[in-house]
Amino acid sequence: MTISIELLDELLTGVERPEDLRGDAGLLKELKVRLMERMLGGELTAHLGYEEGKAAPPGQLNRRNGSTTKVLKGQDGAFPVTVPRDRDGSFEPEPVKKGQTRIDGIDDRIIGLYAAGLTVRDIQGHLLDLYGLKVSPDLISRVTDAVLSEVREWQSRALDRMYPIVIFDALRVKIRDADSRTVKNKAVYIALGVTREGVREVLGLWIAENEGAKFWLSVMNELKNRDVQDLLIAVVDGLKGFPEAITAAFPEAMVQTCIVHLVRHSLNFCSWKDRKAVAADLRRIY
């Protein structure tokens, strides 16, 4: 059993600027909270022996008993975590022990645990290193399956019917190959939409070996299948065949080359010694 590399779709959401990743409203903190709560829920299921929403085994008195909110302090500040409870109080969560208020150094390890394409044995090693805890493969399966369900829900969620602006680009990231166990540079392609309220929203992320018109056409069709009916302006990097892929799915969309590529193209028409001054003037134009 290995964890699908598609989990990067969730983990890389919004990694457009440093401030999108960290800070009080950063996506990394939100991701940490959601993953932590999923781990706690999976742990309680293993402790009680039955899934949430289902009946307890006959004769078993101990059951789920709501939850409490605990504020933990870590490297990036304080954040609230919902901790589930059982009736007789025998549930002792390992990731967040009773009375614990600090949890440091968890960011990179949680990302490594859920996104590196590790085997069950590797994950057991991570948990042992992180918590000093020996866990069963069954518990690991429950935890990872719970996270995977959220990833699939995010990937297939319905989108707005119309986006005034959608930016299509790629992020270069290092990804561990689950088969060869080597780290490779791969492109994570991103569709960043701007809503009618002016809010930026990551519509989706995709990993592909080759960036081509055929690949982008499949992305456009996926957006249409998720209820997007129109894009007013699509911002691209000038890839050959890209505008045709967009207009094939959204005939009325206006395709615009991104500002960075427009500036680079414009600078091709001046000498090296003039480029700095020309670039400064182009900033006022674009």
Q: Which domains does the chain have, with CATH numbers?
A: 5-155 (no CATH), 162-285 (3.30.420)
| Higher pLDDT, residue 260 or 103 | 260
Give me the phi and psi of 26, to 5 degrees please: -70, 150
Model-wide pTM > 0.85: no
The CA–CA distances, whole Å, from 170 to 167, 173, 282 equal 10, 9, 24
Angle between helices 137-155 and 120-131 (to 10 degrees): 100
Length reported for the chain:
286
Among 54, 180, 30, 200, which Cα is nearest to 110's?
A: 30
**Is a pLDDT exceeding 70 seen at residue 253?**
yes
Q: Quick one: average pLDDT of 161-182?
A: 80
Cβ burial of 61 (10 Å; 0-12, 13-18, 19+) is: exposed
pLDDT the model gives residue 111: 41
The residue with greater pLDDT, 147 or 199, is 199
Say what the pLDDT of residue 224 is: 93
Neighbours of 200 (CB within 10 A): 13
Once rounded to an integer, what is the mean pLDDT over residues 92-118?
57
Please state, in angstroms and rounded to a whole number, the distance separating the CA atoms of residues 91 and 83. Answer: 10
